[in-house]
Structure 1
Amino acid sequence: MTARLLKFGAVGLLNTGADFLVFAMLTAAGSPVLTAQAIAYACGMLNSYLLNRSWTFRSSASRTREMPRFIVLNLVVLACVTLVLEQLRTGAGLPLLLSKLLATGAGMIINYAGSRFWVFGARGYSSETRSDTP
């Protein structure tokens, strides 16, 4: 495993923690599941951009290049995670938070690939980060 992947995982754990906390609080307060999912995901997404840009990928690329890509990637991931969440919850009959956990895992795979190769692509890496690329 590369250092970058480990950092992405650590950031992902923080994002997931924020996402789950907000999601659990909103659904416990009676918010509709899909509304809670969108709000919770946005909280994790903000944390993700800031930490992955500065720490994981050490990007020096223009924010005007990265931000639209980051938003598009995360909207795609949000749609995928929401679809999987609903299918697991309503189609497979799994408990809500287990469905959320499984859907989040699937989203993390898509998010890493998109972040690594498209959002924070090689042209935006600092020389320090490039050295740990296999």
Structure 2
Amino acid sequence: MSPRIRAYGSPTLVPVSGTPHAHEPHVPLPVEIPVTESIADESLDLKTQIVRFVLTGGLSAVVDFGLYVLMLALGLQRDVAKAISFVAGTTTAYLINRRWTFKAEPSRARFVAVVVLYGVTFGVQVGLNAVMNNVFPDEWWRVPLAFVIAQGTATVINFVVQRAVIFKIR
């Protein structure tokens, strides 16, 4: 018998080779990375989740910023480049956090909830950054401090809502 893995968002099992048996229809969705048989069986304590969330956020920021700089270097318009890099970074964060930080099974409802949350926290981040830039004096530290406050606030909101609500969704 060949090893099997689950196609994302599908209860249908397909062989690792990607060729379904006659009684198993192929589902054209991305394949999950096989980490454990049932990832939901193992929950992590708060400290471990926070550490993993921060590490995932760091990697996602590298994806976001790296793609942003690359697209700017290739001549893409700034706002378009930032929108694409934001989507890439937040998608990276969701996929890793779902699997590694919160040990949750795939769920379309959860994915939609994360998209809504990221939309809200994006607005909070951009708005708070603008407010802080207007409140602080025009000193060298204004821009980095406003960025850290806005990013930190968005990160805390993301963690709390994901841990308490989103990754409880079945």
Greater fraction of residues in helix? 1
Task: Name the structure 1 match of 2:117.
Answer: 73
Cα 1:64/1:116, change in 2 over 3 Å: same
Deviations 1:90-120 (A, max 9, x none): 443423x553333211110000011101111
Report the AA paired with residue 63 of structure 2. Answer: A
Matched residues, number: 120
Selected match of 1:111 from 144, 152, 158: 158
Percent identical among aligned pairs is: 22
- Where do 1:79-94 residues align within 5 Å? 79-92=123-136, 93=138, 94=142
> C-alpha root-mean-square deviation of aligned residues, in Å?
2.8
Matched-pair contact (CA < 8 Å) for 1:19–1:41: yes
Matched-pair contact (CA < 8 Å) for 1:53–1:120: yes
Task: Name the structure 2 match of 1:102.
Answer: 149
TM-score (structure 2 length as normaliser)? 0.58
Task: Name the structure 2 match of 1:44.
Answer: 89
Find the structure with the greater CA-based Rg: 2
> Secondary structure of the residue that 1:58 maps to in structure 2?
coil
Q: Which has the higher contact order (CA 8 A, sep 6+)?
A: 1
Cα 1:9/1:103, change in 2 over 3 Å: same
TM-score (structure 1 length as normaliser)? 0.71
Cα 1:88/1:39, change in 2 over 3 Å: farther
Task: Name the structure 1 match of 2:17.
Answer: none
Task: Name the structure 2 match of 1:59.
Answer: 104
